């Protein structure tokens, strides 16, 4: 028995078990018998800096080669889908925004589109509300890809890119804060439109961001693309071809990095994406390098989309005209975030009894949604984000299921990792960009 503080060992029914806390591999290396005991099982996570959150991997190793890999999820399960069934349809936005915390606007928009389709008001959504949704989604796509770049860089040993990625993401979070009052978990996109209009100073901030970002992208490429360590660790690593992707249900940048230009914004457009000009970047190799290239190119395309959306913003309402569906309160941003505007409160409390009744009914009870079921899918930063929503005709969702790209994509990890080196498990897993909040819901 060793007495190491870092790697203690004990005998169990299934063999000798080492507990490694400080990365002291010497104890394990000296403790195993490489001739009679070729395979060791390594448990990685759920608390591990390079598993992108609470993902647990169980790896069966033969030397440094991964023979079998299994991922274990569920550590961040919060029962959001069940909780939705106990709140009214509008309150649902505040729950779904917390699923994939790097792409809250996408969760909200998918939910809003599903509820609108159930209500049959898809065509009544105002031009301005749809444009704002596109604007916000594309900004969110950039911020999500920046976090991917930052964390993947860090996991592969490039610390500078981690700082730079998070630094530029802050600009976008600032813009979000100006518009929605919150940096994350906005509940901004609601069934019927968006919670409130985009203020003028936000437009100025976005224009500044559009000017700054291309230079920063150049900087990232200068840092990474020609760097031998980065190319060694990404090229021909964790390859998955189109057949493998489609069989495993992998969508998003991973599928496009294998060469198939499948992007729901182009192939099954929603929110008027068919009227915007942008390209769908692809890459022929299907490796981590390809995914890196595709994501960088997607940031550029998103910048184009943000600019076009900004140019299209015309004054107008941001909520449907139907006051039974539109949230009755005129929301405004106060010092403590978004809430009822003072004018609205003054009106319902002092001037109009009818307004007060409507406010009360809609806030406490909510609107009714005709019975039926729909499936709505949008292109989130990680792939197809689908919402299967069922209504029973009441004021609460009967069932809402999220087809989360993180959840589905993680199934590809064994296909990418088995037969490769243990170091490439990190690169492969990171290239899938799983967000465990979305995966486990």
Partner 1 sequence: MTSPTDKPNDGGVPLPVVPAGATSGAPAEFPPASPAGRGMFGNQGTGDVSGYGGLVRQRQPIEEASRPYGGYFDEVRDALEEAYPAFNDAIEKVVVDRGELTLHVRPERIAEVCQVMRDDLALRFELCSSVSGADYLGADERRLHVVYLLTSMTYRRRVRLEAAVSVEAPHLPSVTAVYPTADWQEREAYDMFGIVFDGHPSLTRILMPDDWEGHPQRKDYPLGGIPVEYKGAEIQPPNERRSYQ
* Interacting residues with partner 1 (CB under 8 A): 73-74, 77, 79, 81-83, 85-87, 117-118, 120, 246-251, 260, 262, 267-268, 364-366, 371-375, 377, 384, 386, 388, 390-396, 398-399, 401, 403, 407-408, 410-411, 440-441
The residue (of 74 and 334) whose beta carbon lies closer to partner 1 is 74
The residue (of 63 and 79) whose beta carbon lies closer to partner 1 is 79
CA distance 397 to 377: 18
Q: Collect contacts of 26-31 with beta carbons under 8 A, ≥24 apart.
A: 27/2, 31/2
Minimum CB separation of residue 382 from partner 1 in Å reads: 14
The residue (of 312 and 401) whose beta carbon lies closer to partner 1 is 401
CA distance 245 to 266: 19
Minimum CB separation of residue 118 from partner 1 in Å reads: 7
Per DSSP, the three-state class of 365 is coil
CA distance 39 to 44: 16
Q: Encode 13-76 in three state secondary structure.
A: CCEEEEEECCCCHHHHHHHCCCCCCCEEEEEECCCCCCCCCCCEEEEEEECCEEEEEEEECCCC
Q: 151: closest CA among 53, 57, 298? A: 53
How big, in percent rounded to 5, are the helix, strand and coil portions of the chain?
50, 15, 35
Minimum CB separation of residue 1 from partner 1 in Å reads: 30
Minimum CB separation of residue 157 from partner 1 in Å reads: 30
The residue (of 308 and 373) whose beta carbon lies closer to partner 1 is 373
Minimum CB separation of residue 208 from partner 1 in Å reads: 38
Minimum CB separation of residue 407 from partner 1 in Å reads: 6
The residue (of 2 and 83) whose beta carbon lies closer to partner 1 is 83
Helices vs strands, H then E, count in the chain: 18, 12
The residue (of 176 and 327) whose beta carbon lies closer to partner 1 is 327
């Amino acid at each position: 028995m060793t007495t190491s503080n870092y790697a203690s060992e004990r005998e169990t029914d299934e063999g000798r078990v080492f507990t490694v806390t400080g990365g002291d591999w010497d104890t394990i290396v000296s403790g195993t018998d490489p001739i009679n005991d070729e395979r060791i099982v390594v448990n990685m996570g759920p608390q591990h800096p390079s598993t992108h959150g609470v993902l647990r991997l169980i790896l069966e190793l033969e030397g440094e080669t991964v023979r079998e890999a299994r991922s274990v999820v569920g550590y961040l399960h919060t029962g959001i889908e069940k909780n939705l069934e106990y709140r009214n349809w509008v309150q649902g936005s505040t729950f779904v925004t917390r699923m994939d915390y790097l792409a809250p606007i996408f969760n909200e928009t998918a939910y809003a589109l599903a509820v609108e389709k159930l209500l049959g008001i898809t065509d009544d959504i105002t031009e301005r509300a749809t444009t704002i949704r596109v604007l916000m989604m594309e900004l969110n796509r950039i911020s999500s890809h920046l976090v991917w770049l930052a964390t993947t860089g860090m996991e592969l040993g490039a610390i500078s890119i981690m700082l730079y990625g998070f630094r530029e993401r802050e600009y976008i979070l600032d813009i979000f804060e100006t518009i929605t009052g919150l940096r994350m978990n906005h509940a901004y996109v609601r069934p019927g439109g968006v919670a409130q209009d985009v203020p003028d100073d936000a437009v100025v901030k976005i224009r500044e961001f559009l000017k700054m970002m291309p230079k920063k992208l150049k900087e990232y490429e200068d840092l990474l693309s020609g760097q031998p360590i980065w190319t060694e660790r990404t090229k021909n690593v964790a390859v998955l071809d189109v057949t493998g992707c489609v069989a495993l249900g992998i969508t998003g940048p991973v599928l496009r990095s294998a060469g198939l230009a499948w992007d729901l914004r182009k192939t099954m457009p929603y929110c008027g994406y068919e009227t915007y000009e942008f390209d769908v970047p692809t890459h022929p190799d299907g490796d981590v390098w390809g995914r890196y290239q595709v994501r960088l190119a997607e940031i550029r395309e998103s910048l184009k989309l943000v600019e076009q959306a900004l140019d299209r913003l015309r004054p107008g309402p941001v909520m449907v005209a139907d006051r039974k569906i539109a949230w009755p309160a005129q929301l405004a941003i106060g010092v403590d975030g978004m809430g009822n505007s003072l004018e609205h409160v003054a009106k319902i409390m002092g001037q109009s009894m009818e307004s007060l009744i409507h406010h009360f009914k809609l806030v406490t009870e909510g609107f009714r949604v005709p019975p039926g079921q729909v499936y709505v899918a949008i292109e989130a930063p990680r792939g197809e984000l689908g919402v299967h929503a069922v209504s029973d005709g009441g004021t609460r969702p009967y069932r809402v299921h999220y087809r989360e790209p993180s959840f589905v994509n993680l199934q590809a990890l064994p296909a990418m990792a088995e037969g490769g080196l243990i170091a490439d498990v990190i690169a492969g897993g990171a290239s899938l960009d799983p967000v465990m909040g979305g995966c486990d819901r």
